């Protein structure tokens, strides 16, 4: 198991397009192709001890290409920053295109009102190393918002590059009590911010 307190020891080949990054929201190129998402429903929650892994069904259209949703997991605090500000929590929806290319859609959560969808998830988390069937719709986290897009990497080893990232501009909320519940299930697990290295950041709207 990789250690977040020893990230400097994570091995990678090039390291020039690593994730996560800080998104400077006014420094981006506008593209008029907002992603679309077709009913995302969780059907299984797994408690792996070091993270919650959630799966189900849903499909995205990302820059006019269909991507199949594979898995959802969370990081706290957020891995990506907006204008040098971290959020309390970040959800990653991992997708794959037909050619094998991977894309991750990220949704950030700021402290605020209780999130009813998160509450449904938290109340159904099974004991460690077990799984639980469920039926929770999470589409609302993904729709009705613009997205920031850039090319990066996975944020956990093997931190391979060539990953398409799409980050929702609209932040969701998570209450302090809900965040405390997440902290009971797994430890802090956010990767440090990585250099941008002259990569372009696009806004899809």
Phi-psi region at 173: left, alpha or beta (left = phi > 0; alpha = psi -120 to 50): beta
CB-based contact 95:104 (threshold 8 Å): yes
Question: What's the domain range around 179?
Answer: 18-204
Residue 78 inside a domain? The answer is yes
Q: What is the pLDDT of residue 26?
A: 85
SS3 state of residue 115: coil
Give the integer Cα–Cα distance in Å for 142 and 133: 22
| Residue 119 maps to a domain | yes
- Is residue 179 included in any domain, yes or no? yes
pLDDT tens across the length of the chain (205 residues): 788 988 988 887 667 999 999 999 987 788 878 999 999 999 999 999 999 999 999 999 999 999 999 999 999 999 999 999 999 999 999 999 999 999 999 999 999 999 999 999 999 999 999 999 999 999 999 999 999 999 999 999 999 999 999 999 999 999 999 999 999 999 999 999 999 999 999 999 9
- For residue 8, whether the previous peptide bond is cis, meaning omega lies within 30 degrees of 0, is no
- By C-alpha distance, which of 196, 190, 197, 195 is closest to 7? 190
Q: How far apart are CA 144 and CA 141, in angstroms?
A: 9
Give strand pairing partners of 164. 103, 151
For 115, phi then psi, to 5°, come to -95, 115
Neighbours of 82 (CB within 10 A): 18
Q: Give the Cα separation of 29 and 37 in Å (integer).
A: 22
Q: Which helix (H) or strand (E) holds 119?
A: helix 116-122
The owner of tokens 């969808």 is 117
Residue 10 is assigned to a structural domain of this protein = no
> Is 35 among the domain residues?
yes
Q: Which residues touch 8 (CB under 8 Å, ≥6 apart)?
A: none
Residue 88 domain-assigned? Answer: yes
3-state DSSP of 146-204: CEEEEEEECCCCCCCEEEEEEEECCCEEECHHHHHHHHHHCCCCCCCCCCCCCCCCEEE
pLDDT of 5 reads 87
Number of structural domains (the chain) is: 1
Q: Domain of 25: which CATH number?
A: 3.10.200.10
Residue 6 lies in a domain: no
**Do residues 201 and 150 touch, judged by C-beta distance below 8 A?**
yes
Residue 12 lies in a domain: no
């Amino acid at each position: 198991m990789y250690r977040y307190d020893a990230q400097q020891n994570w091995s990678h080949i090039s390291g020039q397009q690593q994730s996560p990054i800080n998104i400077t929201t006014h420094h981006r190129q506008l593209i008029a192709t907002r992603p679309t998402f077709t009913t995302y429903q969780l059907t299984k929650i797994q408690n792996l001890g070091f993270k919650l892994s959630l799966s189900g069904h849903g499909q995205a259209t990302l820059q006019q290409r269909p991507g199949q949703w594979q898995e959802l997991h969370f990081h706290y605090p957020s891995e990506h920053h907006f204008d040098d500000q971290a959020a309390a929590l970040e959800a990653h929806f991992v997708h794959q295109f037909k050619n094998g290319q991977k894309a991750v859609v990220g949704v950030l959560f700021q402290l605020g009102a209780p999130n009813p969808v998160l509450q449904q998830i938290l109340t159904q988390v099974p004991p460690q190393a077990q799984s639980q069937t469920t039926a929770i719709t999470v589409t609302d986290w993904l729709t009705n918002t613009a997205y920031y897009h850039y090319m990066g990497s996975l944020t956990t080893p093997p931190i391979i590059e060539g990953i398409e990232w799409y980050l929702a501009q609209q932040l969701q909320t998570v209450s302090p009590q809900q965040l405390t519940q997440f902290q009971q299930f797994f430890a802090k697990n956010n990767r440090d911010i990585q250099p941008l290295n002259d990569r372009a950041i696009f806004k899809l709207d």
